[in-house]
Structure 1
Amino acid sequence: MDGQLKNGMIMTSESGNKYKVISLLGAGGQGEVYDVECNGKHYAMKWYFKGSATARQKKMLDNIIAKGSPDSSFLWPMELIVPNQGSLFGYIMPLRPKSYKSIVDLMKKRVNPSFYVICRTAFNLTKGYQKLHGMGAKYQDISFGNLFFDPDTGDVLICDNDNVSFDNSKPGGVLGTPGFMAPEIVRGEKRPSRETDRYSLSVLLFYLFMVNHPLEGRLEANIKCMDYAARVKLYGTDPVFIFDPDNKTNRPVKGIHDNANIYWPMYPEKLRKMFTKAFTVGLTEPNKRITEPEWMNLFANMMSGMLKCSCGARNFYDEELEKNGAAHVCWHCQQAVPVPAKIVIGKNIVILNVGTKLLHHHLYGDYDMDTVVGSVVQNPKNPALWGIRNEDEVNWTYEKSDGTQIPIEIGRSAGIAKGVKIIFSDAVGEFK
């Protein structure tokens, strides 16, 4: 595949850095992406087609580069490439490692991440957009084309950030990707905003968990020609959630939408309720769409609520099942899955399996799901007894059911026993 630029060409950035074109990586609607090298390091360079290399796009890029990346999960524009001659231009961004895959790879079963990795991917993705929105920006074109994830770790990279728009700048010409645009944009009533971003994010998350579009069921299957009018009706004027509890006209069709039917019952009720709100109330009331913190709190609990069946399959702890006195049934072998001890810290529920880690978010509510502050360990003198070792930076307090309090110094462990509490610096946890 030949591109606009030849291998070996030297492109100079506005700051004077020289980049050597190595190879063409791919092309999209706005331009081509190349592997380039500078001072022994490889980067990606997006080079715009003539119709996209506008003064408006360049002004947007200048603003995006000046603002800086929200965090390391964004393949953010670093600097502009503007030749001395000609009107075309491009920009440099970090190069995506080959280990990162797309949701298309998930849909085509080229990767098979664990439930935990899917939840961590969803958490990291949502956290990235929360930080972007926190900068006063809107992404405008969230879709599965701009998300890449590591199927082994759940780390994410968000690309195509050159259309990000800030509150003090005019919206770009991008309205979104068909199937991901909010209904009000499809109908031509609104332009992209943080509220429409949240709708697009919900669609992307639904794809990640269900490997199906939330509005594509029987109504989509009955469409003979997916033309513009059909898309406007399906996604804009008459959208119906495939699992709408009050409208069954768009249920998934067996043999066409099997992924949705298979995965929907595997997840905890809270996730199903969140998606139901996102695609019922959220279709018509943009200000009531699911916010990033709501998603992140849910995903954090899902990551911390994994049950292991005797058959080896991983299942999700479902608080609603336990409230109703129902058993957890393994999706793989259909046998009952026992629920081990757990600790409840505010809205956080952590299932205490062998090797479970208490994370900073569990104690401090700051969405830090990387820093370990405690670990489930065996009593060295009695392997039948288990406890949580304090790996925090402060001492904890162990409170027995009779009110007796014992300090838990850093490095010491607290025995796991129902009804007992641990008083942390900012929260209280109770074993259940």
Structure 2
Amino acid sequence: MSKQIAKKKKLPVLEDIHGAKYPLKEELASGGQGIVYATELPETLIKGFTSKDELARTSWREHIAWLIRQDLQDLKLARPLVLLKEPRMGYAMELMDGLIPLSDLFDSFIKASDDISEENPTPHIQDYLDQGGLKRRIGILCQLARTLNQLHSRGMLYGDISPDNIFISDDVDHTETWLIDCDNISFESHSGLAVHTPEYGAPELVRGEAMLSSMTDCWSFSVVAYQLLTHNHPLKGNLVNDGEPEVEDEAFRGEHPWINDPDNFDNESFTNLPIQLLEHSNLPELFQQTFGPGMNSAIQRPTMAQWLEALTEVDEHLFSCPECGGYSLLPIEELDHDEIPCFFCDENIAGELVLFEEFVQLSEQEKDDKYPDLKDKRIATGRIVCIQPGESKELKRLLPSFSYDKVPSDHIQLEYDDEKLVITPVEPLHISRGDDKIQEFKKKVPLKTSRKGNDPEPYCIHLGNPNETHVIWQFGW
């Protein structure tokens, strides 16, 4: 939906099918066949359907009635709650206050990038940091990916993902993320729609060769994600920006390479933030899979579960620089515990961080039976979670669905401030240090910052029976 300035006129009071009243306050957005109003009621919006076609109106009302009956209340969707009383065509939906369209943030990218050139290829770094940096962007994408993954896991699709339909916290210190305009949600097997927002539709939709699917959702999500992280559309490189309008149309149909194609530089771009900001993650590979092989083969695109897992790992590896305020990624592949530089100012952050490294510790029996040549009983999984003063994090299994109702027993809460690190188990856990005896803890374990660095031996948190093969998290203190 495109934003429009509300007209200065008295708006009516609407009524739903149960008799509840909704005094309209102002028009928020309109476009296509819909219009959204704020109401005088807290956290309550009205979505109206403006088509005059009777067949379309009947079909739309039946679809919304079906959508209201679906179990979607645990998802961050501004879902329909109740239909308006006829002849009004619309419904009431709930959306928390303090949210703005993601397109507002995208608009600010354009303003910050006016003087970009090949000689000065990156936007103003301070603008990037002022908008919440990498931390806020990853938080937004994690929430969006989680909602879409949960929707897909129920056999449903969203249908029209675009910056106008994604609402985020207007406070840069928060990442609350909701999807609005849920009219196109449907079961994937019953979707007969090909609706999409220009620039965000999958190539097969643009070509008119396919209907909406979970794979078209994955494409649109990938475009939004790339644009949010790099400030540029993945298909709008120099070839498109310097070409005629029909070249852009061709790119959206999948006829030109994306801007970071490793084998074809015809459409490369100098106007986006460097992808190197994300190089210590799986995100560049997922973007390449989507906009490379997945350009014209939907089945090759990464799923939302893959995106969610990759984004969650990025969130675990983010650290902030006390010098410049920027967020960087932990360089896992070349990790030096003594030298961890900030991406933006090269400040060494190593002393700020506590690193939790995950291992599988084998039982004596399993080591002898399966790994007789292994010198150590521990096998590194490659998982590392970093935390610094002022943060709370969780050590958890990387469940792609990420949709548990309560925290699983092998998840551990971490809280770190200037005075102590507090480890909170969900169920009793065991902790050891060096050759010390393994001790069981049922309650919070506080470690004082004043004692940090006094003992070179790392702590080990043992999950499960210490006498059997189990997971451990190792960290220095």
TM-score (norm. length: structure 2) = 0.76
- Match for residue 222 of structure 1 among 220, 238, 242: 242
Q: Following TM superposition, by how much is the alpha carbon of 1:327 offset from its aligned partner in structure 2, in angstroms?
A: 6.2
The range that moved more, 359-368 or 238-247, is: 359-368
Name the CA shift for 1:244/1:160 in 2 (closer, same or farther; >3 Å): same
1:350 aligns with 2:400: no
Equivalent residue pairs, number: 410
Is the CA contact 2:309–2:398 (under 8 Å) kept in the aligned structure 1?
Answer: no
Alpha-carbon distance in structure 1 between the residues aligned to 2:164 and 2:226: 15
Cα deviation digits, residues 314-344 of structure 1 (max 9, x gap): 3211213339x99654333245553744112
* The one of 55, 59, 63 aligned to 2:58: 55
- Structure 2: runs of 5 or more not aligned: 112-129, 359-380, 465-469
Paired residues of 2:357 and 2:383 also in contact (CA < 8 A)? yes
Q: SS in structure 1 opposite 2:324? A: coil
Corresponding residue number in structure 1 for 2:135:
116
Contact 1:165 1:171 in 2 (8 A): no
Counterpart amino acid of residue 375 in structure 1: L
Query: Does the CA contact (< 8 Å) of 1:374 and 1:391 recur in 2?
Result: yes
Match of 1:211 in 2: 231
Q: Pick the aligned partner of 2:262 from 245, 265, 275.
A: 245
Q: Aligned equivalents of 2:60 and 2:277: distance in 1?
A: 44
1:268–1:317 Cα contact (<8 Å) kept: no
Three-state SS of the structure 2 residue aligned to 1:62 is helix
Which secondary structure does the structure 2 equivalent of 1:215 belong to?
coil
How big is each residue's C-alpha offset from its partner over 1:80-121, in whole Å with a ceiling of 9 and x where there is no partner? Answer: 1132x5xx5111112452443424324415871232121111
Deviations along 1:343-385, whole A, 9 cap, x unmatched? 1235642113224434163587873799794335589xxx7xx
The 1:103/1:10 distance shift into structure 2, 3 A limit, reads closer
Secondary structure of the residue that 1:344 maps to in structure 2?
Answer: strand
Counterpart for residue 20 of structure 2: 17
Show structure 1 runs of 5+ residues with no match: none
- Structure 1 residue 190: Cα displacement: 1.3
For 1:321, the equivalent position in structure 2 comes to: 334
Q: Give the distance between the partners of 2:390 and 2:173, measured in 1 at CA.
A: 18
* 1:395 corresponds to: 428
TM-score, structure 1 as length reference: 0.83
Deviation at 1:64, TM superposition (A): 1.0
Check the 8 A contact 2:24/2:39 in 1, yes or no.
yes
Answer whether contact 2:102 2:164 (CA < 8 A) is retained.
Answer: yes
- The residue that corresponds to 2:371 in the other structure is none
CA distance in structure 2 between the aligned counterparts of 1:82 and 1:3, rounded to whole angstroms: 24
> Where in structure 2 are the equivalents of 1:235-274 lying within 5 Å?
235-253=252-270, 257=271, 260=272, 262-270=273-281, 271-274=283-286
Q: CA deviation at 1:297?
A: 2.0
Give the equivalent residue in structure 2 for 1:155: 176
Structure 2 equivalent of residue 82 of structure 1 = 85
1:184 is aligned to 2:204: yes
Shift of 1:217: 0.5
Of stretches 158-167 and 293-302 in structure 1, the one that deviates more from structure 2 is: 293-302
2:143 touches 2:177 (CA, 8 Å); kept in 1? Answer: yes
1:147 aligned partner, one-letter code: I
1:295 is the counterpart of 2:334: no
Among all aligned residue pairs of Structure 1 and Structure 2, give the percentage whose two residues are the same amino acid. Answer: 20
Cα distance in 2 between the residues matched to 1:122 and 1:363: 16
Q: What SS does the aligned partner of 2:425 have? A: coil
Corresponding residue for 1:283? 295
Question: Quick one: structure 1 residues 219 and 378, their matched pair in 2 at CA, closer, same or farther if it must change by over 3 Å?
Answer: closer
- Residues 41 and 376 of structure 1: is their aligned pair in 2 closer, same or farther, counting only changes over 3 Å? closer
Asked if 1 retains the 8 angstrom alpha-carbon contact of 2:43 and 2:96, the reply is: no
Confirm or deny: 8 A CA contact 1:103 1:208 kept in the other structure: no
Most deviating of 238-247 and 120-129 = 238-247
In 2, Cα distance between equivalents of 1:242 and 1:2: 35
- Secondary structure at the aligned position of 1:20 is classed as strand
